[in-house]
Amino acid sequence: MHTPPRVLTVAGSDSGGGAGIQADLKTMLALGTHGMSVLTAVTAQNSLGVQGAWELPVEAVRAQFRSVVDDIGVQAVKTGMLSSPELVETVAGLLAELTVPVVIDPVGVSKHGDALLAATALDAVRTKLLPTATVATPNLDEVAQLTGVQVREEADMRRAAAAILAHGPRWALIKGGHLAGDAVDLLTDGDQEHWLRAPRHDNRHTHGTGCTLASAIAARLAHGDTVPEAVAAAKEYVTGAIAAGFRLGGGIGPVDHGWRLR
């Protein structure tokens, strides 16, 4: 009997199903892994935005993590919404005990511009969470939030990567999706550089892209890929998911996590 690689997501719930835990688990399944979850927060969320968010107690987060890791085990971990300093520090401490790849998506705001990370938690992200990362995957807004570096053109992405790497992750993936032109990302460990480019699709239904990309990287790392291999495969997967994104409700719809099945 074949047991697929096991991947754990530590993130918040998106009741609309496009991002967060829901997007993570769909991505993990689509990429041939067994997804497991530690829920950090519950949101009331739809295609129009986030109407409410409720953080889970630290004790509940720790208990979920221990239940999964101590019995089932994990081969990669991905983090998402960690809204408070207490949650960030708790999860960072748990991750520091592991020897498997960790993908840190330092979620700061939702697709609709709703804040998902308290300003008081930024220092804990910098000093506690980022040092646990095999790969950190900030978008340009999150780079600015964490480092103060403003990326206005592709040439600025090297400076952004250096600022993120200064906080301790082994690799930084700077996502340039907010820039004009092709969707270009920079993956670097400070020595190697990998520029990943994809055509920009004319589709506004892109909810969940960050969660999906980070989860896809974690899934490929659990399969045994190197970091550059995992990121390239994840980029190809999320590009297809964006192209197939579909309308839900009256706002921004999700990417299509099952696009390869259709």
Q: What are the tokens at 69?
A: 């890791």
Report how far residue 1's alpha carbon sits from residue 9's, in angstroms, rounded to the nearest whole number.
24
Q: Which of 90, 134, 147, 206 is catalytic?
A: 206
Q: Which of 209, 212, 235, 245 is catalytic?
A: 209
Query: Could you give the maximum distance between any two Cα atoms of the chain, in Å?
Result: 51
Q: Known catalytic residue: 148?
A: no
Q: Known catalytic residue: 208?
A: yes
Q: Which of 35, 176, 210, 253 is catalytic?
A: 210
Q: Known catalytic residue: 224?
A: no
Q: Known catalytic residue: 206?
A: yes
Residue (of 208, 225, 227) closest to 18 by Cα position: 208
Q: Known catalytic residue: 209?
A: yes
Q: Known catalytic residue: 245?
A: no
Which class for 57: exposed (0-12), middle (13-18), buried (19 or more C-beta within 10 A)?
Answer: exposed
- The answer to whether 26 and 96 have CB atoms below 8 angstroms apart is no
**Neighbouring-strand partners of residue 79:** 10, 104
Q: Which amino acid is at 193?
A: E
Say how many C-beta atoms besides its own lie within 10 A of residue 88's C-beta. 26
Q: Which of 27, 211, 212, 245 is catalytic?
A: 211
Report how far residue 4's alpha carbon sits from residue 224's, in angstroms, rounded to the nearest whole number.
12
Distance of CA 58 to the CA centre of its chain: 21
Q: Which of 208, 239, 245, 253 is catalytic?
A: 208
Q: Which of 78, 111, 128, 175 is catalytic?
A: 175
- Please name the residues in contact with 126: beta carbons below 8 A apart, sequence gap of 6 or more: 146, 167
Which residues have a catalytic role annotated? 175, 206, 208-211
